[in-house]
């Protein structure tokens, strides 16, 4: 009998496995089994966060080399080799996945490669392995944590299915050549990262987005700045794709009303991801599913006692770092459940940072101006260009894109949103999150000292303008 069986070895699953037996005072060792059907590390390490960031970093180095002349460094012959970029990506993925496997060994977690199916029988919780070396084995558990992740959403666009020119993000990570023309369907985070990557490498990129603006969690002002910054990408917003014929995407924009088309060597379907609700016995076990995914409470408990669900599978916040925190909250509750004590940790979603690792980067935490206004909050806002920072000018000049926008609740003076577009955005945003999470006010931030020279000083300047 296992204390805990985990279904899925991505960030939600492997972190939960590590945390249950982490060395905290007075804990007894628990027996843990993790079942993963494809690859330890999940989407994030294998075909998500890490490989995309490897390729985007190679593209950034190439771009910086090409632009180095203005800083007195001459690398005019800079070039890139896609095969070598891909090899670097694969080596990095291998290193990190091996690290996860060794963490499992260090924490005495049993790992089975195979598909796990949850079985609920009265108060018994069992997991059946349906394929792989241990096909047919059944393992009992006192608690089960589902971390089955998500899969790409494939909208039923005529001509998309079985079209060799239409790729999802996973296939896009192993293309052999830079496409001359790339059409990206979907202007969300994944679509924009690929648009930025391939336009930097020389592709002619078209993005077709159904909504009126790219990257939904992004403040509208910053989204417009981002589009302007991605000079080589052509955007069609408010545009619905009607059909695909071979390599041509036909779409109609709300504004023009007439059908337009974009020809491409590769069409990237980046229309979002949906929770993986198949293959692990959700329906048969009676798991309650809502419009976002598996329904969970603030401790990540499902409707079935003894079963928790974390990460993309519950659709609450489909980001790797959200999956990490959800895993910790669930593990704290599972530990209390196993030890017969009361759990107290719970999940908070209001200040989760997000980042887009395009060139330029963007990141945000808390509410956008539009979200705050539409929820009836009376706001004050401040928006400053990053050129208020000496370091930004020293390293980028005065014409590079960069901006910080801060949203404050006018009644309480609490910081409720921070949005950053420009270099280091993804590295600075955790601090912005901390200000929001701790309900800090304008005067608290004014009294804080930021390092000089640093791009982060733009946040302080934005707050000083309030």
Which 282-301 positions form the footprint of ligand FAD (CB under 6 A)?
none
Are the beta carbons of 121 and 304 closer than 8 angstroms? no
Are the beta carbons of 106 and 119 closer than 8 angstroms? no
Are the beta carbons of 133 and 113 closer than 8 angstroms? yes
**Residue 8, interface with ligand FAD (CB under 6 A)?**
yes
User: Contacting ligand FAD (CB under 6 A), which of 312, 333, 361, 369?
Assistant: 312
Does an H or E element contain 150, and which? strand 150-152
- Least distance (Å) from ligand FAD to the CB of residue 440? 24
Residue placing its CB nearer to ligand FAD in the complex, 44 or 233: 44
**Residue 328, interface with ligand FAD (CB under 6 A)?**
no
Are the beta carbons of 154 and 160 closer than 8 angstroms? yes
Residue placing its CB nearer to ligand FAD in the complex, 159 or 186: 186
First to last CA, the chain: 59
Does an H or E element contain 71, and which? none
User: Contacting ligand FAD (CB under 6 A), which of 43, 107, 199, 389?
Assistant: 43
**Residue 12, interface with ligand FAD (CB under 6 A)?**
yes
**Residue 422, interface with ligand FAD (CB under 6 A)?**
no
Which one, of 307, 313, 261, lies nearest residue 287 by Cα? 307
Contacts (Cβ under 8 Å, ≥6 apart) of 447: none
As beta bridge partners, residue 294 has: 289
Q: What share of the chain is helix, strand, coil (3-state, %, to 5)?
A: 35, 25, 40
Peptide bond into 197 cis (omega under 30): no
Q: What does the alpha-carbon distance between residue 384 and residue 224 come to, in Å, rounded to a whole number?
A: 15
User: Distance of CA 363 to CAs 226, 236, 344, 377, Å?
Assistant: 11, 23, 30, 22
Give the dihedral sign, CA 183/54/18/340.
Answer: negative
- Least distance (Å) from ligand FAD to the CB of residue 40? 7
Size of the site for ligand FAD (CB under 6 A): 38
- Least distance (Å) from ligand FAD to the CB of residue 123? 22
Instruction: Find the catalytic residue in 74, 222, 321, 452.
Output: 452
Point out which span in 44-52, 344-352, 376-384, 429-437 binds ligand FAD (CB under 6 A): 44-52
Q: What does the alpha-carbon distance between residue 292 and residue 316 come to, in Å, rounded to a whole number?
A: 7
Residue placing its CB nearer to ligand FAD in the complex, 19 or 460: 19
Which one, of 243, 263, 324, lies nearest residue 18 by Cα? 324
Which stretches does DSSP call E strand in 264-378? 266-269, 273-275, 307-309, 354-356, 362-366
Q: What does the alpha-carbon distance between residue 415 and residue 413 come to, in Å, rounded to a whole number?
A: 7
**Number of alpha carbons in the 13 Å side-chain half-sphere of residue 166:** 22
Contact string 335-364 vs ligand FAD (x = CB under 6 A)? ----------------------x-------
**Residue 275, interface with ligand FAD (CB under 6 A)?**
no
**Residue 35, interface with ligand FAD (CB under 6 A)?**
yes
- Least distance (Å) from ligand FAD to the CB of residue 115? 4
Q: What does the alpha-carbon distance between residue 21 and residue 140 come to, in Å, rounded to a whole number?
A: 19
Catalytic-residue membership of 452: yes
User: Contacting ligand FAD (CB under 6 A), which of 159, 191, 311, 360?
Assistant: 311
**Residue 196, interface with ligand FAD (CB under 6 A)?**
no
**Residue 99, interface with ligand FAD (CB under 6 A)?**
no
**Residue 195, interface with ligand FAD (CB under 6 A)?**
no
Q: What does the alpha-carbon distance between residue 54 and residue 72 come to, in Å, rounded to a whole number?
A: 27
Residue placing its CB nearer to ligand FAD in the complex, 153 or 394: 153
The length of the chain in residues reads: 466
User: Contacting ligand FAD (CB under 6 A), which of 30, 37, 222, 391?
Assistant: 37
Name the token pair of 344.
Answer: 């107290």
User: Contacting ligand FAD (CB under 6 A), which of 20, 44, 386, 442?
Assistant: 44
Contact string 142-181 vs ligand FAD (x = CB under 6 A)? -----xxxx------------------x------------
**Residue 217, interface with ligand FAD (CB under 6 A)?**
no
User: Contacting ligand FAD (CB under 6 A), which of 2, 5, 9, 328?
Assistant: 9
**Residue 126, interface with ligand FAD (CB under 6 A)?**
no
User: Contacting ligand FAD (CB under 6 A), which of 5, 56, 97, 116?
Assistant: 116
Point out which span in 3-11, 72-80, 205-213, 261-269 binds ligand FAD (CB under 6 A): 3-11
Q: Which residues are catalytic?
A: 452
Residues that bind ligand FAD (CB under 6 A): 7-13, 35-39, 42-44, 48-49, 52, 115-116, 147-150, 169, 190, 276, 279-280, 311-313, 318-321, 323, 357
């Amino acid at each position: 009998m296992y204390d805990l069986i985990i279904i899925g070895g991505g960030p939600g699953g492997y972190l939960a496995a590590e945390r249950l037996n982490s060395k905290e005072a007075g804990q007894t060792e628990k027996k843990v089994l993790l079942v993963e059907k494809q690859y330890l590390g999940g989407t994030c390490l294998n075909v998500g966060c890490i490989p995309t960031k490897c390729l985007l970093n190679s593209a950034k180095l190439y771009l910086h080399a090409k632009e180095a002349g203005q800083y007195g460094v001459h690398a005019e012959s800079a070039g890139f080799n896609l095969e070598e970029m891909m090899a670097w990506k694969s080596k990095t993925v291998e290193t990190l996945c091996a690290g996860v496997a060794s963490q499992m060994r260090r924490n005495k977690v049993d790992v089975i490669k195979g598909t796990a199916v949850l079985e609920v029988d009265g108060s018994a919780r069992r997991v059946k392995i349906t394929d792989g070396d241990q096909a047919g084995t059944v393992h009992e558990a006192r608690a089960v944590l589902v971390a089955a992740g998500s899969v790409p959403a494939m909208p039923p666009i005529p001509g998309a299915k079985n079209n060799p020119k239409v790729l999802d993000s996973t296939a896009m990570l192993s293309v052999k050549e830079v496409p001359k023309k790339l059409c990206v369907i979907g202007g969300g985070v994944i679509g924009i990262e690929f648009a930025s990557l391939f336009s930097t490498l020389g592709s002619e990129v078209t993005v077709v987005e159904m909504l009126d603006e790219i990257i939904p969690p992004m403040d509208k002002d910053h989204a417009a700045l981002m589009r302007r910054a991605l000079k080589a990408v052509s955007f069609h917003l408010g545009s619905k794709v009607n059909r695909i014929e071979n390599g041509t995407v036909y779409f109609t924009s709300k504004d023009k009303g007439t059908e337009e088309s974009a020809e491409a060597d590769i069409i990237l379907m980046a229309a979002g991801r949906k929770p993986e609700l198949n293959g692990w016995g959700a329906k048969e076990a009676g798991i309650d599913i809502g419009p976002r995914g598996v329904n969970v409470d603030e401790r990540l408990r499902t409707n079935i006692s003894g079963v928790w669900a974390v990460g993309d599978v519950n659709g609450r916040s489909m980001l790797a770092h959200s999956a990490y925190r959800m895993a910790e909250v669930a593990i704290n509750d599972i530990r209390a459940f196993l030890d017969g004590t009361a759990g107290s940790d719970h999940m908070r979603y209001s200040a989760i940072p997000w980042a887009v690792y395009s060139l330029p980067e963007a990141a945000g935490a808390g509410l956008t101006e539009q979200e705050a206004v539409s929820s009836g909050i009376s706001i004050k806002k401040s928006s400053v260009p990053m050129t208020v920072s000496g370091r930004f000018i020293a390293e980028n000049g005065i014409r590079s894109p960069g901006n910080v926008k801060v949203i404050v609740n006018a009644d309480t003076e609490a910081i409720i949103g921070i949005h950053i577009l420009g270099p280091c955005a993804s590295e600075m945003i955790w601090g912005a999150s901390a200000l929001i999470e701790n309900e800090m006010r304008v005067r608290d931030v004014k009294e804080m000292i930021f390092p000089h020279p640093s791009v982060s000083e733009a946040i302080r300047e934005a707050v000083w303008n309030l």
